[in-house]
Structures are given as structure tokens and as C-alpha cells.
A and B are shown apart, each in its own frame.
Chain A
Amino acid sequence: MKKIKLGNVIVYLFLIFWLLVTLIPLLWVFENSFKSSEEILLNGIALPKGLNFANYQSIFSYPDVNMLRAFFNSFLISGGVVVGVICIGGLAAFGLGRFDSWIGKVVDAFMVACLLVPSFATMIPNFVTVNKLPIKETYFAVIVPQVAGNLCFAIMLLSSYMRSLPNELDEAAIIDGAGPFKVLKNITIPLTKPMFATVGIMVFIWSYNDLVTSLVYVSNQKLKPVCVILTMVSNMHGTDYGAMMAAIFITVIPVLILYICSQEMVIKGLTAGAVKG
């Protein structure tokens, strides 16, 4: 019995060690965001002397970067992408998952093939396309390609979920004279809500964190989301370490809040999206 207990202690110690390894980088950034650069240089791990918000004030008062605007942009873009994917993807999933037709099988196979295409393979022509369309230098220049990039996966998840729904309700509704879109609105959508939430969260986090598309598709700084602005802050003000720490921490806050508030859904959403990269 004693031997097993010793083993348990080692296991716990190891698990706690990894817990610390996971937490320390972010905690380090967090505590240093309340220190001046001199304080960080003097002692990089000591706790700050007090809650000093000077760094946070300075990142919001840069003359050349507008952090608040960047947050606004991020929420607008990611929100737009989620709405777009849910509406367009949901409709397509309904067509594929709830109808009895050969089209569904063909399109399903096509979707699987689409998942193998990395975003890098389409980036250059999309850049050209976006700049030719009237959406050039608007939020839609980021939103539309991101919606397209997320659609395949969302449709696959949603349609397989819709396929597993029982048929009886649909049949009853049709006998009562309901058309397909009434079935969609009154039966399929309410029943698919959990999967819509999962997909929505996955798409939101993916879009909020996506650097490449916003780096490439818009050049107007006023439209750029937090991710891109963060790299700009580091290029222009990277020597102000305290402010850098604050900037990093503040961009992480929205997703951290989302994670803390709806942890199970986030885990489900992101692991369901495992095939996506």
C-alpha cells in the first residue's frame, strides 16, 4: 500500500509542476503589466509595489495606434464572421442534413476535400480578389474570406448533427401543411441550438485570434483587429516593456472571460474543431 501512495505523490507533484508551467508565462505578463520598465529590469519576478495602471493608460493613449478602435474592430469582425457562418452554414447544413437527395452525398465528399486546403494555399489569389471587389478596404474584406474559410467545417458539424435529429416532428409538420422553411424555422433550428453554440464559439475564437487574414486582406489601419494592432505595438513601442505586458494581457482578456464563463462549451467547440487548423 505504501508504494502506491508514494507513486500518487509523484504523480500529483508532476501534475502540479505542469500546472505551474502552464500558468507562469501569463501570470508573469500579468504582474509585470503593473510595473514600470525600470521595476521590471530591477526584479523580473517580484510582485508589483501596487496596482499601477500607468501601462494600461499609455497603451490606450498612443497617438499612432488606437487600441479601443482595435477592440471594436475585433468584435465587429469576429461577430460578423460568426453570424455569417451560422446563417449561411446553417442553411446549407439544413439542405444537406434534412433532405433525401443525392446532392447531399456529393457535397459531403466535396466538403471533406475542402478541409485539406490550408488557408495559405488560397491567400494570394484571395488578396487579389478582395482588392477587385467593392468590399476592398472595408470590414467585409476580412469577414467574407473568413466566413468562406470556416464554412466547410461548420457545415460538416451542423449537417451531421441535423441528420441525427428524429424525423417524426418534420413529418408531422409536413402533414399539417408546413413548407420546408417553416420546418427549418420551427423545428430544426431550435433543436440544433447546442451545435450552433458550439460552432459559434469555435468560429469566434478562431476569428478573434486569426492574424494572417487581417494582416493580408486589409491595409487600412483603422480596420485592423486587436491581433494585428498588437504586433504593431510591439514593432513601434516594443522597448516599453511594461506597456508591452499590458498590451498582451489586455488582448487576451476577452477570450479568457469567454473561457471562464462557458468553459465546457469552449472545450467542446474547440475540440470539435480539431480537424481545423
Chain B
Amino acid sequence: MALKGKKYVWICIIPAMLLIAMFLVYPLIKTVIYSFSSWYNFSPKSEWIGLENYKRLLSDMVMPVAFRNTAILIVGVLIFQVGFALLLAIMVDSVHHGFKIFRTVYFFPIVISGTAIGLMFTLIYKYEYGLLNYIITLFGYDKQVWITPKTAIFLTLIPVLWQYIGFYFVIFLTGISKIPEDIYESAMLDGITPIKKIIYITIPMLKDVLISTIVLVVSGCFRVFDTVYVITKGGPMNSSQLLSTYMYQMAFEKYNGGYASAIAIVMIIIGVLLTIGLRKLLKADAED
């Protein structure tokens, strides 16, 4: 850092700071204020009502469903995006051929939009033309209606997993490739088995990558929107509602800006607490 002159630093950062202040900081404060207000239809008038919106959240029957669905998402992504992706990375690292093609193909769903993936899976689940029903009729079963209140959240979870497993697979693969070769070599001399190698060397060496991935995937669960919005719109009967889809519906379909803001605030608070909490917990655990 050779350059000096505060004047220039300010000139450089002011355009960015203005934009961030206007579209990130100001709206964040505004959302907090709206969440304490009765405010409908995006009208210029809003009225301070204190904690009313938050009280309503406590008795809202959709909120427990949204939390349950988020919990299902979290369990799902931990098992598949972390566990399964790690397994894939270890497997691909262990084979001698096809490394590049596996990586290329596994990663590709991440470049596709959640919208396209959502519609793709909508078609797969369709009654008349769907791929799933076609496959099960081949095995002699009757066609089924796939998306029901009981199954909806799981069926919307599948495309999310399908899209992201390859992404975390690549992150793990990069992590594994950074483990120094000589550690393996000395272990090989001691006659270690491949399974033991994974448990005692690979996974411990990936500790930091694992921690940040777990934090990422869990906090990512609060941002899932596109696929669920496209496949079920939170339905049928709110059964696959998430905080994000519910907030969107409240704000832009029911035009209840105050209540939607309260949902957004709950989203931020839980998201931030979970991110910080998980990081602390996992770091402390790792240092033991």
C-alpha cells in the first residue's frame, strides 16, 4: 500500500458508499420501522403500532409451518450438500480417470437459474406428462399426484439439493487438493487403509472448509426462494411456505407491508444469530 492521500480514498469510495447507503443501509432501517407500523398497499401513510405485527406473528398458523419447512431444508442440506457432496469429492479424488468430466458435469446445475430448475421439476412432477409418472408406470404402478400438502416441501427440496450438491462438491474437491501430498505418503508407509485415510487424514484436514460450508449452507436455507416460488408458490394450503415466500406473498400479493417487514426482520435476526452462533460453536468444537 504505497499510495497516500485521504482525499483520494474518499473520492474512490464515495460512489460505492452512496449506493450502499441508499439501497442497503437506508432500506434496512426502513424495514425495521415498517415492522412496527400498520402499513398497507404501499400508501404514503403508515401508523406506528408498536409490537402488534410481532404479536400477530406469534399466533400466525403459517409461521410454525415455515419454521418446520426451514428445519426440513436445514436437515436436508446438511445431509446432502455437506455429507453427500463430501462423499462425492472424496470418491472423485480417489479415482484416476474422468476427474475433469465429473467436475464439469456435477457443477453445471449451479449456473442454471432457480426459475428454470423450478419449472423443469414442475414438469417432471406433472400428472399427465411428467417424467416421474412415466417412470413409475413403466414399473407397473399407477400414476400419482405428486405435489400434495404432505409432500410439497420435500418435492421442492429435491431441486434445491440437485442444484447445489455439485457446487459444494467443487468446494470440497478444491479443499482436498490443497492437502499436502507428503502427509498421505507417510501414512501410506505406515500401511493405512483407504477408509482410515479418509477418517483420520482427509476429514480432519478439511476442518476449516467444513466449518465455513456448514455455516454457508445453513444460512443459505433462509434465502431459498426461486425454486419454491416457481414450483408451489408456498402451497398447497401454505404447506411448503418458507419465510421468504411468505414474506413475498404478504408484501406483493396481499400488500401488507408492515407485517411483511416484521417477517423480514425475523428472517434477518435468525439468519445472523445462526451464522454467528454456528461459527462460534463449530470453531470452539474444532479447537478442543
Tally of A-B residue pairs with Cβ under 8 A?
270
Determine whether B145 belongs to the interface, using a CB cutoff of 8 Å to chain A.
no
Least CB distance, A25 to chain B, in whole angstroms: 5
Q: Is the CB of A274 within 8 A of B162?
A: no
Least CB distance, B282 to chain A, in whole angstroms: 16
Q: Which of B89-139 contact A (CB under 8 A)?
A: 91-92, 94-95, 98, 101-116, 119-124, 126, 128-131, 134
A258 closest partner in B (C-beta): B111
The interface residues of chain B, by DSSP majority, are classed as helix
Least CB distance, B144 to chain A, in whole angstroms: 15
Q: Is the CB of A18 within 8 A of B106?
A: yes
Specify which of B101, B171, B261 is in contact with A271 (CB 8 Å cutoff).
Answer: B171
Q: How far is the CA of A172 from the CA of B200 in the complex (A)?
A: 50
The interface residues of chain A, by DSSP majority, are classed as helix
Q: How far is the CA of A166 from the CA of B260 in the complex (A)?
A: 49
Q: Is the CB of B6 within 8 A of A101?
A: yes
Least CB distance, B252 to chain A, in whole angstroms: 6
**Stretch in B28-36, B67-75, B148-156, B179-187 with 4+ CB within 8 Å of A:** B28-36
Q: Is the CB of A234 within 8 A of B122?
A: yes
Residues of B within 8 A of A99 (CB): 1, 3-5, 8-9, 12
Determine whether B249 belongs to the interface, using a CB cutoff of 8 Å to chain A.
no
Q: Is the CB of B3 within 8 A of A100?
A: yes
Q: A202-244 vs B: 1/0 string, CB under 8 Å?
A: 0001001111100110000000000100110010000001001
Residues of B within 8 A of A104 (CB): 9
Specify which of A18, A96, A148, A234 is in contact with B119 (CB 8 Å cutoff).
Answer: A234
Determine whether B11 belongs to the interface, using a CB cutoff of 8 Å to chain A.
yes
Residues of A within 8 A of B116 (CB): 227, 230, 248, 251-252
Q: How far is the CA of A171 from the CA of B275 in the complex (A)?
A: 41
Q: Is the CB of A267 within 8 A of B24?
A: no
Residues of B within 8 A of A83 (CB): none
Residues of A within 8 A of B88 (CB): 15, 18
Least CB distance, A148 to chain B, in whole angstroms: 4
Known: A88-B19, A183-B3. A277 touches B219 (CB 8 A): yes
Q: How far is the CA of A29 from the CA of B106 in the complex (A)?
A: 18
Determine whether A191 belongs to the interface, using a CB cutoff of 8 Å to chain B.
no
**Stretch in A6-14, A50-58, A63-71 with 4+ CB within 8 Å of B:** A6-14
Least CB distance, B15 to chain A, in whole angstroms: 5
A127 closest partner in B (C-beta): B42
Q: How far is the CA of A19 from the CA of B247 in the complex (A)?
A: 36
Determine whether B198 belongs to the interface, using a CB cutoff of 8 Å to chain A.
no
Q: Is the CB of A22 within 8 A of B105?
A: yes
Q: Is the CB of B134 within 8 A of A170?
A: no
Specify which of A121, A212, A231 is in contact with B31 (CB 8 Å cutoff).
Answer: A121
Residues of B within 8 A of A183 (CB): 3
Least CB distance, A260 to chain B, in whole angstroms: 9
Determine whether B204 belongs to the interface, using a CB cutoff of 8 Å to chain A.
no
Q: B165-177 vs A: 1/0 string, CB under 8 Å?
A: 0110011001000
Residues of B within 8 A of A194 (CB): none
- Number of A residues contacting the other chain (C-beta, 8 Å)? 98
Known: A19-B102, A21-B162. A12 touches B95 (CB 8 A): yes
Q: Is the CB of A216 within 8 A of B28?
A: no
Q: Which of A144-166 contact B (CB under 8 A)?
A: 144-145, 147-149, 151-152, 155, 163
Least CB distance, A256 to chain B, in whole angstroms: 7
Q: Is the CB of B19 within 8 A of A147?
A: yes
Q: Is the CB of B105 within 8 A of A230?
A: no
Residues of A within 8 A of B16 (CB): 88-89, 91-92, 151, 155
Determine whether A47 belongs to the interface, using a CB cutoff of 8 Å to chain B.
no
Known: A25-B124, A144-B23, A230-B115. A241 touches B129 (CB 8 A): yes
Least CB distance, B119 to chain A, in whole angstroms: 5
Q: Is the CB of A180 within 8 A of B114?
A: no
Q: Is the CB of A22 within 8 A of B223?
A: no
Q: Add 7 more A-B contacts to A104-B9, A114-B20, A212-B225 (CB < 8 A).
A: A22-B105, A88-B16, A114-B25, A152-B20, A208-B113, A248-B123, A259-B111
Query: Which residues of B approach A to under 8 Å, CB–CB?
Result: 1-6, 8-13, 15-17, 19-20, 22-28, 30-31, 34, 42, 88, 91-92, 94-95, 98, 101-116, 119-124, 126, 128-131, 134, 162, 166-167, 170-171, 174, 194, 216, 219-220, 222-223, 225-226, 229-230, 244, 247-248, 251-252, 257, 260-261, 264-265, 267-268, 271-272, 275
Cβ contacts A to B, 10 pairs, < 8 Å: A15-B95, A22-B106, A99-B8, A100-B4, A114-B24, A122-B24, A125-B31, A128-B30, A148-B20, A277-B220
